[in-house]
Structure 1
Amino acid sequence: MFSGAVLKDREMLRRIGNLAGPAVLEQALQTAVQYADTAMVGQIGAAASAAVGLTMSCTWLVNGPLFAMGIGVLACIAQALGAGDATRARKAGAQGVFLVLFLGILMGVLTVALAPFIPYWLGAEAALAKDAGDYFAITCLPMVFRAGNIVFASALRGAGDSRRPMLINLAMNVCNVLLNYLLINPAHLLDVGFVALPLWGAGMGVRGAAVATALSHVLGGTLMARAYWRHPTLSPRQCGVRVDRALMRRIISIGLPVTGERVAACLGQVVFTGLVSRLGTLALAAHSIALTAEQAFYIPGYGMQAAASTLAGNALGEGNEKKLRDTSLTITFIAAALMALMGAALFSFPEALMGIFTGDREVMALGASVLRIVAVSEPLFAVAIIMEGVCNGIGDTRASFMISAGTMWGVRIAGTLMCVCVFHGGLQAVWCCMVADNTCRCCLLLLRFVRGRWKRRLNILAQQR
């Protein structure tokens, strides 16, 4: 089914590199900025970190439908371009404009209106709830721009352009870090060698971090919309922006299962964290820091996922069964190999990685032990990530949703509940449940691909032609 000869196909490898390279770099930069962002807020104090972190799961939940509809737009554009139908690709991109406006306005109004109440629903004390609510409301104000950044970036990637989204997100992240530095801190002196330079600062604390995030979303959304509007293939300047009911239904039918998957995953994470909290403060601290530390080791997989979606969609549009199979398996092999190397590094140096985020020796030791557990499963997680990307590209999102939700709740949550509440296991047992979830998801997604369920979509497209 897959031979070494495929890896010698230079044209295929070049195209994978052109699409995946910028996306991997973008993931790396975003992770680095997230680390810096966390550190800057952490300097204010524990209360500030708690205020920002409290609504993080809600932020993921809000972003879910935006990313989901972006995947629907990406799949339709990639399939249309694979079939050589540039007009259909432009129309698919134009549907993204309506989705950005509709979702951006609707979700912006809802999130800002609910922001004062969400921290209390999450169990926050009154002193913390005010800062957390303000932070969430401010970051959600420019929701239209956030939607534009996500959906238009997906449209560009569907057209094979991952370089521009990478550069725009780089500019957005640099803007966020600089504004954080200026808005969080008060005016102070910056020592440069033997010279102390006076530096302006707003001293806004948590609200300064929120304003910095909001303004970076405005910049990113504006630049991404401009890049989409000027794109030679996608720009709707020639055909205009009109609702195409058939395409809109197709995008929504692809995006809705992805929305369900994101919601199920976010709710699962909330329940998962709640179960971990029963193990005590030490376990919860080690768990939270280890999860943050591990994010850097997902970079190759998630960076290459968009490339897998685009190339699978192109091959489906062409009706080329061999190309779809070979391209998907090649990306899977490369991602698994890269994440195997990352996993080896994680297994070898977990204490040093934990030491970046904490000086507590007990937290460091416990976190290092669970990082070694998850390091073994990194290649399998890579396979699951890429197979999910392939499902997204060919529009088989319902199967991906069923598998991901099933393993999250049936393996991770149910297993953790048994380990914590019945067998009274520790954090290592909980992370074994997380590894089991990733392993089962990998096996089920790969089995679905190997069995060739995606060939039905090739037959449907062939009949439509």
Structure 2
Amino acid sequence: MTDSTQGGRIWWIVVRPALTSGGLRMSKSGVIEEADAGELPNGQLGGRLAGLSLMQQVVILAMWPLLEQVLAFFVGLTDLFISGRMAEGAERVAILDAMGLGGYVGWFFNILQGAVATGVMALVARATGARDHALANRGLGQGVWLGILAGLISFGVLYAGIPLLIEKIGLTPEAGVQATKFLKVLAFSGPFSGAMFAVNAALRGAGDTRTPFLSMVVVNVVNMIVSSLLVFGPAPFGGGARAVSRLC
């Protein structure tokens, strides 16, 4: 491939398939393709990954999801810490039992919403690699709607199945009461978390793993602050299980 510059334009003489802003064009030897002066040649990345080695690219892309998972671990640990201080004696045991069930249910529904997010990330990554921004935008839009749909399905199934689930698990009556409160709140969050999963997956597919991390920092910090206020805060927010009862 050779190039020449005339009148501020770059002309590429293509001897293999050329990638331009319009996508892939199968070109025969000797065919001339026009490209904007700022366009990247084949095989070169733009944005934050421009000019980096393969190892550096992997580190940049993997660092933020790693930190996000570490943050999620500390959020779960904080929730467990708070739950263990909401009450004493048998009531404390019941609350911790309810939290254990809620954690497994939340993990299961994250799989459902994560399946949609995986498809969104693959589609957006493919479109981004082909520099087809219109397809990437359509993939994001469809992914958000599918994420909301997955969240609505999660909401309906969980909300309707709470009594049967508690019965089959064999929780004590007190633990069943606490689990019902927790699972109702979890069910209502389904559509919102489904949309969030899809948007974050699209950003990762486009090569931006930092923005999803920052968004989850905000979500998780708010979660920890509000959870602490509901348990340890002054009236009318404080009171632990009683405050949650008012929300449900």
TM over 0.5, yes or no?
yes
Work out which of the two has the higher radius of gyration on C-alpha atoms and give 1 or 2. 2
Residues 25 and 166, structure 1, Cα contact 8 Å, conserved in 2: yes
> 2:55 corresponds to which residue?
13
Q: Percent identity at matched positions?
A: 26
> 1:180 corresponds to which residue?
227
User: Cα–Cα, structure 1 residues 138 and 206, in superposed 2: closer, same or farther, change >3 Å?
Assistant: farther
| Offset at residue 67 of structure 1 (A) | 0.3
Instruction: Indicate the structure with greater helix content.
Output: 1
In the alignment, which of 103, 109, 112 is matched to residue 65 of structure 1?
112
Which consecutive residues of structure 2, in runs of 5 or more, have no partner in the other structure?
Answer: 1-50, 87-91
Residues 182 and 200, structure 1, Cα contact 8 Å, conserved in 2: no
In the alignment, which of 166, 169, 176 is matched to residue 216 of structure 2?
169
Q: Secondary structure at the match of 1:203?
A: coil
| Offset at residue 155 of structure 1 (A) | 1.0
| Offset at residue 114 of structure 1 (A) | 1.7
User: Cα–Cα, structure 1 residues 186 and 204, in superposed 2: closer, same or farther, change >3 Å?
Assistant: same
> 2:65 corresponds to which residue?
23
Written as runs of structure 1 = structure 2, the 5 A alignment for 1:7-406 is 10-44=52-86, 45-185=92-232, 187=234, 201-205=237-241, 208=244
Show CA shifts across 1:297-344 (max 9, x none): xxxxxxxxxxxxxxxxxxxxxxxxxxxxxxxxxxxxxxxxxxxxxxxx
| Offset at residue 210 of structure 1 (A) | 11
Q: Distance in 2 between matches of 1:29 and 1:58?
A: 20
Q: Distance in 2 between matches of 1:204 and 1:72?
A: 39
Q: Distance in 2 between matches of 1:210 and 1:17?
A: 46
What code does the residue aligned with 2:238 have? A
Residues 117 and 147, structure 2, Cα contact 8 Å, conserved in 1: no
User: Cα–Cα, structure 1 residues 201 and 92, in superposed 2: closer, same or farther, change >3 Å?
Assistant: closer
Pairwise CA RMSD of aligned residues? 2.4
Instruction: Indicate the structure with greater strand content.
Output: 2
Residues 159 and 184, structure 2, Cα contact 8 Å, conserved in 1: yes
| Offset at residue 25 of structure 1 (A) | 1.4
User: Cα–Cα, structure 1 residues 121 and 210, in superposed 2: closer, same or farther, change >3 Å?
Assistant: farther
Q: Distance in 2 between matches of 1:77 and 1:94?
A: 11
Q: Secondary structure at the match of 2:171?
A: coil
User: Cα–Cα, structure 1 residues 122 and 89, in superposed 2: closer, same or farther, change >3 Å?
Assistant: same
Q: Distance in 2 between matches of 1:36 and 1:112?
A: 25
Show CA shifts across 1:20-41 (max 9, x none): 1221111111111211111111
* TM-score normalised by L of structure 1: 0.39
| Offset at residue 57 of structure 1 (A) | 1.7
> 1:276 corresponds to which residue?
none
Residues 93 and 155, structure 1, Cα contact 8 Å, conserved in 2: yes
Q: Distance in 2 between matches of 1:50 and 1:35?
A: 15
User: Cα–Cα, structure 1 residues 156 and 10, in superposed 2: closer, same or farther, change >3 Å?
Assistant: closer
Residues 76 and 89, structure 1, Cα contact 8 Å, conserved in 2: yes
Residues 117 and 143, structure 2, Cα contact 8 Å, conserved in 1: yes
Q: Secondary structure at the match of 1:33?
A: helix
Q: Distance in 2 between matches of 1:49 and 1:112?
A: 20
Q: Distance in 2 between matches of 1:210 and 1:154?
A: 34
Q: Distance in 2 between matches of 1:148 and 1:207?
A: 27
Q: Secondary structure at the match of 2:216?
A: helix
* TM-score normalised by L of structure 2: 0.70
What code does the residue aligned with 1:80 have? A
Residues 148 and 192, structure 2, Cα contact 8 Å, conserved in 1: no
Q: Distance in 1 between matches of 2:224 and 2:245?
A: 9
Residues 23 and 166, structure 1, Cα contact 8 Å, conserved in 2: yes
Q: Distance in 1 between matches of 2:246 and 2:204?
A: 28
Aligned length, in residue pairs: 193
| Offset at residue 87 of structure 1 (A) | 2.0
What code does the residue aligned with 1:126 have? P
